[in-house]
Amino acid sequence: MSKKIKTAFVCDQCGADFPRWGGQCTSCGEWNTIKEVRLGSAASERNGRSTGYAGSISEVKLLSDVNLLQAERIFTGISEFDRVLGGGIVRGSVVLIGGAPGAGKSTLLLQAIANIADRNNRVLYVSGEESLQQIAERAHRLKLPANKILMLAETSVQRICDVMDDIKPQVLVIDSIQVMHTQETDSAPGSVSQVRESASYLTQYAKKHNVSIFMVGHVTKDQSLAGPMTLSHIVDTQVMLGSTDDARYRILRADKNRFGSVGELGFFAMDGSGLKEVKNPSAMFLTRAEKPSSGSVVTVLWEGTRPLLVEIQALVTDCQYGNPRRLAVGFDQNRLAMLLAVLSRHGGVATAQDEIYANVVGGIKIAETSSDLAIVVGVVSSLKNQVIPHNMFFFGEIGLAGEIRPVANGHARLNDAAKHGFTKAVIPKANAPKMPIEGLQIYAVATLSEALEVIAGLYDGKV
């Protein structure tokens, strides 16, 4: 009896599934991107061969019988990379690293596996895009020990797994997942179905054979990972490598991590010898002008598991047209509008007729609310043309009633700022430390009006 072939209609751009073909994808809005793909036979799905590595059926266990031993990790020798991964590579995990062309993904992974190979771990680098000669030239330029790194030029995941059965590596690099293909799917390499099935096949192999896999992923023009959304769900960890506005530094961020903190950041500097770790990222973002200027304020963010000092600049100017502009770069523009409303209602500072621009220096993106107080102080400083001292910093969330709310890890933020030479801090009252911090004068405020009184006291000689 003939086997029934199952098909589906999938968008090549976003990976959305549809019961029938259509001219436009209703999920992403693109035209002529819905393709018919073959999923495989019902019999092969029952045998577990259509979407993953062919192997024995998993054993059913009681939850109480599962081994609770901590997952073993492999250290890359790059502390910033290990930090983002949650303390190293978990054996049997799958990590997806994305980034724009030229960001340094292949360079970072080549440096990492060179360090791993030096610790007597067998590593395999599979290239589907670059030739082996190109990778060898890069390793020579970076002065990496190449005598322990195994290389393979291949795009078939079945043949890659056959090679791994023979050499049994601890770490595998796939560069890149978008060019891989599986023989069980008839669509062209790079299509949504091929990317999904190839990633699923490799992930199941990693879990069964305890192999750690790095997959390099491309990004689209809007800086999101190319391919289906299910790709992010398949992997254990997803990290993105980007650059600052001046392209001098690289920032590695964990967007998903089953074995560590989400939002953890790693900082690198790119030069001719590869990616170098930035041990003190706060200094990287605090390269302030020699001459103090109004509107410049320092705040302390909490990124992943560590504090980070950044500078926020605000500019208030007269409106040139009928509708004043509000522009925020580095944080939510709607939040800027909300803070200006609170400033007008509870701080007595009206800005409705002024154009306001706010920017986070260094190209970093703020995802938390602890910078609210610094943003408002920067606006007031620019509006009144009053310079905030370089040795002063602010943090705290502002509520709609004008209250200053506490933030997480307040004591650690204070200690880190004190180590960088700051001597004055305006913080939420609930974050005030029980014991004084040497060299740091703290002004604990409960409302926005109290914070503005501290700022006014700077110029009245009271602070």
Percentage of the chain exceeding pLDDT 90: 62
So where are the chain's domains?
Answer: 5-46, 71-278, 284-460
For 294-352, write each residue's pLDDT tens digit: 999 999 999 888 899 999 999 999 987 778 999 999 999 999 999 999 999 999 999 99
Q: Report which secondary-structure segment, H or E, holds 416.
A: helix 410-419
Split at pLDDT 50, 70, 90, the class of 288 is low
75 pLDDT higher than 70:
yes
Contact at 8 Å (CB) between 398 and 373? yes
Give the residue, 19 or 343, on which the prediction is more confident.
343
For 354-386, write each residue's pLDDT tens digit: 999 999 988 788 989 999 999 999 999 999 999
Torsion angle, alpha carbons of 347, 350, 352, 355, to 10: -90
Percentage of the chain exceeding pLDDT 70: 89
For 386-439, write each residue's pLDDT tens digit: 999 999 999 999 999 999 999 999 999 999 999 999 999 999 999 999 999 999
The CB density around residue 460, as the number of other CB atoms within 10 Å, is 8
8 pLDDT higher than 90:
no
The CATH class of 284-460 is alpha beta
pTM greater than 0.85 (yes/no): no
**Angle formed by the axes of helices 132-141 and 105-118, nearest 10°:** 70
Q: Which is it for the CA torsion 86, 88, 90, 94, positive or negative? A: positive
Q: What angle do CA 110, 111, 114 make, to 5 degrees?
A: 85
For 106-157, write each residue's pLDDT tens digit: 999 999 999 999 988 999 999 999 999 999 999 999 999 889 999 999 999 9
Give the residue, 450 or 29, on which the prediction is more confident.
450
CATH topology assigned to domain 71-278: Rossmann fold (3.40.50)
